[in-house]
A and B are shown apart, each in its own frame.
Chain A
């Protein structure tokens, strides 16, 4: 038995080193299809790299926005600025409450917002959080909180990305990386907002949900609420509008609204705003600039009323 246990322990050490090397070599040499569980998205969709870099230099804002692409493509900080509210948009691609909690823990003390507007919807609560975790890990320097987030998600893809990202950043491979502020049909606006440059409505994109609220996302959400409340910060939960076909495809809407109402002030704009697919959206779940203007003004009214 002693020999067996000793072999197992020795092999475990050998395996750790072998695995780390394997991930690094795969990341450096293999094409994407031969490294399926190693996804590295530095400078990927949503300008996360630029946004997180910018966030480090910002402090004291009136409003901090959190959420997925429905947050960073809906809350136009320029409109809020016009209304006299300084703001920063900390939304990231597919951001789920697990990532929102991570970002809040990291940036709350520095940004010191008076109010947090958190874009919530059943889709992100039904998400396992892998894609967003990979997005943040790829674009953020290694730290203990990232490790905690990876442990919360506990998915092999996230662990692989964490290993590879740590290697690239610690060896300075990303030092020369510069992310442009425009990608195909999207433009990054200082302050975290992403402007959609297309006005055409793509009816094939994002027209159905898988709605099954995940327990771990609910837990993370509860942690966010208690973190924000303990810091005496106002939080407004907002569900941004999507096209009716997409909204109605989710069977959890009523349940979700009930849960959100129990947690804090909550407005579901799918119930209050009357928007038209082709006039106000670029696709199933993202507003165009006309839609953004209407939506932001409604949110401003709410904030001012508060």
Chain B
């Protein structure tokens, strides 16, 4: 079920009413209800993969309990390996099996001994990369004794499958989300109101910004050989806003929906395109994944402690895995490695934490220096998105070659000029609102808070009108579903 679909527009109000008016007296019933709704939400897409979700939940639940009762550290370690092996195993089979097979075939072909291994036709279960990481965080935390395991299977299953964030995050830590299933939830007017605003803002980002940018980016990337440097650069820019609007829009809707049910999810994006260097960008982009890798890969490997070689190794490993997490394609791996390359100089110079504040805090506009820094970082990020968006490395390199050619200084050509013009206007409007609201959790959280109610309502109604006037019809899925 897509957030931007009629199905969800009917599903969620029904859930909301039953949740607060029928099941509100009993916490256990509320959790059972969340679990059932989550399985319905997931099964709407493909009911077969519910078994996989349940199996992953059950195995980690049992391993969590065994980790608590087992004293022998060796056995505990094997239990942890069991959990990791299972979770990465299903991820490996569904997501990476064919990729590895193709590469082994290619490798042997290079040496003149083609193997002709045949791949298997597998449908990638939606959200598998998200929920496997979420359950792994639970077993790792129980193993490290950072938290006690739960004995309540229903609450644990509801935590793993919690429908607002099941298929595209934020990837929650068990320590943060799981305890919320054990506390009686009361309806909070302010929380619910902020939830509604965040859902609206997320929808605007998705259906107005991302979907319109997607049409333009797709038409350019899918026929990249027909275009010169300036058009391809515009395609990369459109993709930059597409992926941001799409993914942060999903996160906003997920967080807003959770708020309406009395849950608090972690932030996933904090205005990444206002970053002044790559380190800041990675603190602001897909925060739940970056911090997951930080907590469960980077720090266990030694983090930034040790020799320069160890530091470099850790950084490259984390970015490599992060790239590979996104998809079974060399383009994602190269994208990860290039990000590492841009990040390393900052780490080595000790400048990776120089921008922890909010840019131009208490000021209306940024300084000239900040503008340059932001612009430079944004250009770098956008160039790297080319690898992320391209279907192969050859295509990505070809696009780079075309961008860095004299045709970069020509006037861009668009098949849909009207759409391109209006999308540019919408993106400027969107980024202006983001700039104004950059110190909030999401841009419109407290926007016009001091103005009269009618003024605020007019603003929210205007955003809905913009959705009605500029949304792409047909309901496109979220990009991160494929990961």
Residues of A within 8 A of B (CB): 1, 3-4, 7-8, 11, 14-15, 18-19, 22-23, 26, 32-38, 128, 130, 154-157, 160
Q: Which residues of B contact A19 (CB under 8 A)?
A: 461, 464-465, 468
Q: Is the CB of B418 within 8 A of A32?
A: yes
Q: Which residues of A contact B471 (CB under 8 A)?
A: 37, 156
Q: Which residues of B contact A26 (CB under 8 A)?
A: 469
Q: Is the CB of A4 within 8 A of B187?
A: yes
Q: Is the CB of B473 within 8 A of A36?
A: no
Q: How far is the CB of B356 from chain A (nearest CB, A)?
A: 36
Q: How far is the CB of A219 from chain B (nearest CB, A)?
A: 17
Known A-B contacts A4-B193, A37-B473, A160-B469; the reply to A15 vs B461 at CB < 8 A is yes
Known A-B contacts A18-B458, A36-B419; the reply to A1 vs B20 at CB < 8 A is yes
B368 at the interface (CB under 8 A from A): no
Q: Which residues of B contact A15 (CB under 8 A)?
A: 457, 461, 464
Q: Which residues of B contact A23 (CB under 8 A)?
A: 465, 468
Question: Which of A1, A26, A154 has the largest count of B CB atoms less than 10 A from its CB?
Answer: A1
Interface residues of B in 385-436 (CB under 8 A from A): 418-419, 421-422
Known A-B contacts A18-B458, A19-B461; the reply to A36 vs B468 at CB < 8 A is no
Q: How far is the CB of A215 from chain B (nearest CB, A)?
A: 15
Q: Is the CB of A157 within 8 A of B473?
A: yes
Q: Is the CB of B468 within 8 A of A156?
A: yes
| Beyond A4-B192, A19-B461, A19-B468, 5 extra complex contacts between A and B, CB < 8 Å | A1-B189, A4-B187, A22-B462, A37-B473, A155-B473
- One digit per residue, 1 when the CB lies within 8 angstroms of any chain A CB and 0 when it does not, for chain B 88-129 equals 000000000000000000000000000000000000000000
Residues of B within 8 A of A (CB): 6, 20, 187, 189, 192-193, 196, 418-419, 421-422, 457-458, 460-462, 464-465, 468-471, 473-474
Q: Is the CB of A18 within 8 A of B187?
A: no
Q: How far is the CB of B208 from chain A (nearest CB, A)?
A: 10
Q: How far is the CB of A298 from chain B (nearest CB, A)?
A: 38
Majority-rule SS of B interface residues:
helix
Q: How far is the CA of A36 from the CA of B473 in the complex (A)?
A: 11
Question: Which of A26, A32, A36, A128 has the largest count of B CB atoms less than 10 A from its CB?
Answer: A36
Q: How far is the CA of A1 from the CA of B187 in the complex (A)?
A: 7
Q: How far is the CA of A147 from the CA of B196 in the complex (A)?
A: 29
Q: How far is the CB of B462 from chain A (nearest CB, A)?
A: 8
Residue of B20, B192, B461, B469 touching A18 (CB-CB under 8 A):
B461
Residue of A7, A8, A34, A154 touching B6 (CB-CB under 8 A):
A154
Q: How far is the CA of A266 from the CA of B457 in the complex (A)?
A: 56
Nearest residue (CB) in A for B474 is A128
Q: How far is the CA of A33 from the CA of B420 in the complex (A)?
A: 10
Q: Is the CB of B461 within 8 A of A14?
A: yes
Q: Which residues of A contact B419 (CB under 8 A)?
A: 33, 36
Q: How far is the CA of A3 from the CA of B192 in the complex (A)?
A: 11
Nearest residue (CB) in A for B192 is A4
6 A-B residue pairings within 8 Å (CB atoms): A14-B461, A19-B468, A22-B468, A22-B469, A33-B418, A160-B468
Q: Is the CB of A3 within 8 A of B458?
A: no
Q: How far is the CA of A154 from the CA of B9 in the complex (A)?
A: 14
Q: Is the CB of B421 within 8 A of A38?
A: no
Q: How far is the CA of A68 from the CA of B421 in the complex (A)?
A: 32
Q: How far is the CA of A199 from the CA of B458 in the complex (A)?
A: 55
